[in-house]
Structure 1
Amino acid sequence: MDWMNIELEAWAGEAKERVLRESIPARNRTGYIERGGRLLLNLSSNDYLGLAGHPAILEAMRDSLLHEAAGSGASRLVTGNGPSFSRLEEAVAQWQQSEAALVFANGYAANSGVISALVGRGDVVFSDRLNHASIVDGITLSRAEHARYRHNDMEHLHSLLTKYQGARRKLIVTDTVFSMDGDHALLRKLVQLKREHGAMLMVDEAHGSGIYGAHGEGLCHKMGLKHEVDVHMGTFSKAFGVYGAYVCGSRTLIRWLVNKARPLIYSTALPPVVLAGVYTALELVRTEAIRRVQLDEGSRLLRDALREAGFRVGSGDSPIIPVVIGDNDTALSFSSALEEEGIAAVAIRPPTVPEGTARIRFSVSAAHTAADLLDAAVRIRRVGLRMGVIVS
């Protein structure tokens, strides 16, 4: 197996090798982590609403552990489908104003399972070039034709839909908030093209759930387009601060997925303790709108400060704030320098992002105070000037 070492050395030489690093949430300091004995401001987490350590969620999970089994013991179609699933799915469907909902182990399982259940040979999936890897892999598993359109280029998508107008089934799939750029999909135009070409539309609200909408339902709800979407997916591992994913749609869709989504059929069900935590998190997401206000204010504050400092900052209003650095080595050095300044901010490199666009992906949480973010902006600017990424 020497070929592995050869490949890994090549990746290391291109500053592309990934390594695992330990970190733990800081005690009594939300929005911070501890790594190597140091306290760091956490600007890399997807815990957008700061719920991961919420006492009510921890209490619900603690109670579940005392009264239920540690694990589910089997897949949902065997004996793993406990009453906690029905309770959560009913609550999610009501929250999303959908006929039905289905809970999956995680977003990767949901995307790969749903796409491969909906399309196959003879079908075509139209996917934004910047969609998440789980969408790309779901398309590959489905064996459908993969027609990738340039990011948010609706003219390109229209041309591809026209080219494949004779396909048996057509599925348009997109992130609503793109995970490495923080910008939005052009949902109104996507709905229009879906109608014109008789396609299905699936959205991934992983980075929109909990953040947008009056009750955190997502970007589609905020834009009044919920009922134009055929398949609505979101996760419980980001703004909810727990783990898992959901798919919402018609009762027919959910019935179909129970029979066809292989990650659901052939995976052990989530433990009851996770479902208990998610159920409580959902209530907090629905009712504590102040967290969304704080998140929005913090995101705008940091984005504006970094842009004013001279950084190349991505567009959008999400808590994802990418600062494009360029080459991999500089991005890694920038991340290391930020850690020395007390900030945890990871360098994102190809193949996660296109070549030449290595970046620092800052992500804000409602747990961050204005003082945290303003101080971080000063430190980030200091590193940028020292490394020549920006000029004074």
Structure 2
Amino acid sequence: MDLLNTLTGQLRALDEQSLIRKRRTVDTPCGARVSVDGRQLLAFCSNDYLGLANHPKLKLALQEGAAIYGVGSGASHMISGHVRAHAMLEDRLAEFVGAHLESARALTFCTGYMANLAIITGLTAGDREAEIFSESLNHASLIDGARLSRAKVTVYPHADLAALGALLAASNAATKLVVTDSVFSMDGDLAPLPALLALCEQHGAWLVIDDAHGFGTLGDHGRGALEHFKLRSPYLVYMGTLGKAAGVGGAFVAAHETVIETLIQKARPYIFTTATPPALAHALLTSIDLIEGQEGIKRRAHLAALVAQLDDGQVGLKLHRWRRLPSMTAIQPILIGDNAETMRAGAALYEQGLWVGTIRPPTVAPGTSRLRVTLSAAHSSMEVAQLITALNNLDATGKDVR
């Protein structure tokens, strides 16, 4: 009972700080309009940026994949779980982003979290003198990967190239990794990747890019941050997720073939995990075609137009008490600050039929709680206008959130 009382006390403390997290149950496919706990809502909180999660072609491809390969893979990739669909997807992904990498090869994972753990622990395996330089706003998976590696970890300030350059110059490590998000998941801004890559090439360091929120949405053909910034280097190690803009699930790492072979041989999150259901890999072949083709181009253009709608001087956001953080991506944070006020704002929107994410510590720093608006190509301009009106009214009056 003492153990349970300790946990109860910890939960009570979280509740007193407005930090308790609660799940809601969705009864419909992922989309702009969903049924949640029996209520019809307009959702601005998913990462389905291109609106592909319920695409008819993906549903048919998943059904076809299950008909060909069954459901489960049955084992890890290293035993018997590496199915033809996995091999075909890896070849397709290597081709898709390969123009930005030398001798490109790809490796698929169950989740982006696992992929990041694999990259960092795999590239530093057996080298206790390795050093990792981690961006201060990195995703938890990158932070945890650095911790698990047992390498020396140095955190550099957000987008501070001068600080990182000095740290790299002072390092005597033979193995150096600079690790960063491309699109920062809670702020929506972009890392200065060209300058980071130049530093890595100058100092002999790997640049590990987590492009979870850029893959599919950035670049003319959706090839992510690599295409957006026109990057190309053998020093790049690229991670893209397949459950956000790609609409399905999983993740992949693309890099020089020697890097990928190293991960296959050394990365425990890859070696000791059952492979993803091959039907998902089969469906993702269709997803990549959609991202790359004319439909993907149109959806990215529509998404960009929705982001621009927020900036419109006549009908866009006009906030006074709150602050919209600068972002040209689908992630549009509204900074409020106080935990309780953030929760009240989210609840007020929910009562109006608008579902917006409420983000609090430890996901963000204390005092920076926010509404995290995520836009999707599945949204219409009228739906975004409805959100804008609600946010402007709440910010102006404050009566529903104070």
Q: Match for 1:302 among 298, 307, 310?
A: 310
1:182 and 1:40 map into 2 onto residues whose CA distance is 24
2:387 and 2:319 map into 1 onto residues whose CA distance is 12
What does residue 151 of structure 1 align with? 158
What does residue 71 of structure 1 align with? 72
Question: Quick check: 330-339 or 152-161, which moved more?
Answer: 152-161
Please report how far the alpha carbon of residue 24 of structure 1 lies from its aligned counterpart in structure 2 after TM superposition.
Answer: 3.3
Kindly indicate whether residue 282 of structure 2 is the aligned counterpart of residue 281 of structure 1: no
Kindly indicate whether residue 336 of structure 2 is the aligned counterpart of residue 329 of structure 1: no
Matches within 5 A, 1:1-392: 1-2=3-4, 3-25=6-28, 30-97=31-98, 98=101, 99-119=104-124, 120-163=127-170, 165-227=171-233, 229-287=235-293, 288=295, 289-304=297-312, 307-310=317-320, 311-387=322-398
2:120 aligns to what SS in structure 1? helix
2:233 and 2:389 map into 1 onto residues whose CA distance is 44
2:301 aligns to what SS in structure 1? helix
Please report how far the alpha carbon of residue 156 of structure 1 lies from its aligned counterpart in structure 2 after TM superposition.
Answer: 1.6
Structure 1 ranges of 4+ moved more than 6 A: none
Amino acid at match of 2:105: A
Please report how far the alpha carbon of residue 309 of structure 1 lies from its aligned counterpart in structure 2 after TM superposition.
Answer: 3.6
Q: CA-to-partner distance for each residue in 1:262-297, whole Å, 9 max, x for gaps?
A: 111101000012112211111100102101101111
2:288 and 2:119 map into 1 onto residues whose CA distance is 23
Question: Quick check: 58-67 or 379-388, which moved more?
Answer: 379-388
2:382 aligns to what SS in structure 1? helix
Question: Is the contact between residue 51 and residue 240 of structure 1 (CA under 8 Å) also seen in structure 2?
Answer: yes
Please report how far the alpha carbon of residue 23 of structure 1 lies from its aligned counterpart in structure 2 after TM superposition.
Answer: 1.7
2:254 and 2:134 map into 1 onto residues whose CA distance is 20
Please report how far the alpha carbon of residue 361 of structure 1 lies from its aligned counterpart in structure 2 after TM superposition.
Answer: 0.3
Amino acid at match of 2:152: E
Question: Is the contact between residue 303 and residue 321 of structure 1 (CA under 8 Å) also seen in structure 2?
Answer: no
Q: CA-to-partner distance for each residue in 1:174-200, whole Å, 9 max, x for gaps?
A: 111000000000112101211222211
- TM-score of the superposed pair, with normalisation by structure 2: 0.93
Amino acid at match of 2:59: L
Question: Quick check: 364-373 or 1-10, which moved more?
Answer: 1-10
Please report how far the alpha carbon of residue 351 of structure 1 lies from its aligned counterpart in structure 2 after TM superposition.
Answer: 0.5
Gaps of 5+ in 1: none
Q: CA-to-partner distance for each residue in 1:40-79, whole Å, 9 max, x for gaps?
A: 1110000000000000000011122223221000000001
Please report how far the alpha carbon of residue 224 of structure 1 lies from its aligned counterpart in structure 2 after TM superposition.
Answer: 1.1
What fraction of aligned residue pairs are identical, expressed as a percent?
37
1:276 and 1:362 map into 2 onto residues whose CA distance is 31
Please report how far the alpha carbon of residue 109 of structure 1 lies from its aligned counterpart in structure 2 after TM superposition.
Answer: 0.3
Q: CA-to-partner distance for each residue in 1:217-264, whole Å, 9 max, x for gaps?
A: 011212111336520110001000110001001111111111111111
Gaps of 5+ in 2: none
Coordinate RMSD, CA, aligned: 1.8
